[in-house]
Amino acid sequence: MGATDADAAPAGRSYWQALRYLGLSRLVVAALLIAYVPLFRAGIDFEEGVDSELFLAVAGGYFGTAIVFVLLARTRRLGFELLLRAQVVADLVALTLLVHAAGGVRSGLGVLLILPTAAAAILSGARLTLFFAATAALLLLLETGWRGLRGDATESHFLQAGLTGAAMLVTVVLVNRLARRLDTQERLAARRGEDLRRQLAITQVVISELPDGVVVLGERGEMRASNRSAREMLGPAEPGADPPGVAVLWAALGTGAHRADEPIEFVVPRRDAPGRRLRARRLGGPGAAGTVLMLEDLGRVEQRAQQLKLASMGRLSASIAHEIRNPLGAIRHANGLLAEHLHEPQLRRLATIVEDNSLRINRIVEDVLSISRRAGASPAALPAATALPQMLAEHLGQSGADRARVACRIDSPQPVWFDADNLRQVLANLLDNALRYASAANGAVTLEWAEPAPGRAMLRVSDDGPGVAPSIREHLFEPFFTTEPRGTGLGLHLARELCSANGASIRYEPPGDNPPSRSAFVVEPRPAPTGTTLARR
């Protein structure tokens, strides 16, 4: 504690606490002073000049004032500086009167003036401290001078008063310097403590969000701390009990069949599913805080490894597809030239088979290359009333599908925020899928741009087909997954990738969710930014 400048001290929490302690010490001193005369009256031969009645009256008033100051410091009714100054002034006046009533400096009570001045040195600035110390020394000299005028003081009394005043000045200077240094250290410690609390909070947030589990076990295997991932891995726990996986982990640790730094693999049993395979690794040795372990879900590790394999296979597939294009083009060209010179029906049928399968291979190659070389999208505000019918007409013209099978409805004036080429490819994949499973009736497939909620427009491609079986819905957008013998399994996956690149979402709605019993794929683009102009088509 102590002042940070020369004139004033801040009224922090520790200062108010010190002020309350000062008030309590004042109560003790006042009580001892009240008991000074009655307890020792019989055993002390009071010298001439001692006024016991004045002493008791001042001591009693001082005790009552001390009680008031304790209450004010507890309730903080007054400002810190005002209350401190009032207390020091009251101390100086009361103690000076007590010294006078006790016979002057020869009573030895003059040293009590050091207490309020030392308190001021701790709780206030240097200037105010020196002022109070000088005032106390001056009051002591004035009291001795008064007695000297009456002939009750000698040179030794003046020397004693001067030495007491000098001792007060030296004491307050030293105490004030020490208090200022202590205040600096306290503030530094407070800042370091705040930094540590902030760092601890950040660490706790990071640990709680880690995909791997962190668990701390005590000496008997009880769980002292854990993050969310660890609690999920170790299984649901009953209220007031540890998760069931903790006992399995502790048993695996206690087998002693592994080195301290060797990972431990164990299986956490589950009721309605196969056991969960986990791997635990110690972080450091056992300490006072317990045994700290890092948990890994081996199933998740295997999934990540599988994803890396699929990514490698995807790059390999793109490389192979790129190399296939040139010989495939030569095969198609040669087959076309050969077909011009074939006149027998059986030979022409064989040439047609070659062409159809070449087209199928070319479609697979194009889908693989579209996924592998997908560039960044450049979405724009496309006018739905013109862009969607135009894209639909282009696709129907290229695929040769019956125009009457597809109905187009534009029920919202909102533009479509999408890259035009990406949207054209998404629509082509969704329309091909719908036409493949829809009936031959007019309007069997519907392309709809609607706004079910304000500011939330959706693109729906629905059909009257049987829909997707519940058992395979979760695999719809996976690459190379298809139920069509001649399909590539990349159409819906590519559609999702293109939607993601444009900030849009795509989902499947089964027949029961959108009457009248039509299954649909729903694309929900982002709303166009405010002030965006429509792109020209």
pLDDT above 70 coverage of the chain, percent: 84
Q: Name the pLDDT band for 486 (thresholds 50, 70, 90).
A: low
Rounded mean pLDDT, 304-332: 76
Identity at 372, one-letter amino acid code:
S
pLDDT reported for residue 26: 81
> Which residues, including other chains, have CB under 8 Å from residue 53's CB and lie 6 or more apart?
none
> Sign (positive/negative) of CA torsion 341, 345, 348, 350?
negative
Summarised one tens digit per residue, pLDDT across range 66-81 is 888 888 877 777 777 7
Q: Name the pLDDT band for 45 (thresholds 50, 70, 90).
A: very low
Rounded mean pLDDT, 417-442: 87
Judged by DSSP in three states, 419 sits in coil
Residue 13: count of CB within 10 angstroms of its CB: 8
Q: Name the pLDDT band for 256 (thresholds 50, 70, 90).
A: low
Distance CA 58, CA 240 (A): 63
* Residue pair 92/131 in contact by the 8 Å Cβ criterion: no
Distance CA 63, CA 68 (A): 9
- Which class for 202: exposed (0-12), middle (13-18), buried (19 or more C-beta within 10 A)? exposed
Distance CA 343, CA 399 (A): 28
pLDDT reported for residue 438: 86
> Which residues, including other chains, have CB under 8 Å from residue 483's CB and lie 6 or more apart?
472
- The answer for 517, left when phi > 0, alpha when psi is -120 to 50, beta otherwise, is left
Rounded mean pLDDT, 481-509: 78
And the tokens for 8?
């004033």
Residue 305: count of CB within 10 angstroms of its CB: 10
Summarised one tens digit per residue, pLDDT across range 165-223 is 788 888 888 888 887 888 788 888 888 888 888 988 888 888 888 888 888 888 888 88
Of 37, 16, 25, 89, nearest to 63 (Cα)? 25
**Helix or strand holding residue 156 (H, E):** helix 155-208
Residue 482: count of CB within 10 angstroms of its CB: 19
**Residue 396 pLDDT greater than 50, yes or no:** yes
Summarised one tens digit per residue, pLDDT across range 139-154 is 888 887 887 777 777 7
pLDDT reported for residue 480: 67
Q: Rounded mean pLDDT of the chain?
A: 79
Q: pTM (2 decimals)?
A: 0.43
**Residue 536 pLDDT greater than 80, yes or no:** no
